[in-house]
Amino acid sequence: MNYLAHIYLSGNNDLIAIGNFIADGIKGKQYKTYLIDIQKVILLHREIDSFTDVHRILLKSTKRL
């Protein structure tokens, strides 16, 4: 489900979609081995994950599932 949300949030931007898709598999500082634009998307992906992991409404919605 996480993949679908990140792909949706990528809009029509293929670069962002690719970065969002691969980001969960990139651990620690491995992201620095990618092109700078992909690095930015991987960091954005992590920020989105951090936000959604603690957001009150999203946590409540997850419990419904």
Question: Does residue 1 have a pLDDT over 70?
Answer: no
The more confidently predicted of residues 63 and 21 is 21
Which residue has 């029509």 as its token pair? 12
Q: What share of the chain is helix, strand, coil (3-state, %, to 5)?
A: 85, 0, 15
Provide the token pair at 39: 């690095």
**What would the 3-class secondary structure string for 3-30 be?**
HHHHHHHCCCCHHHHHHHHHHHHCCHHH
- In tens, the pLDDT along 21-62 reads 899 999 999 999 999 999 999 999 998 888 877 767 767 777
pTM: 0.76
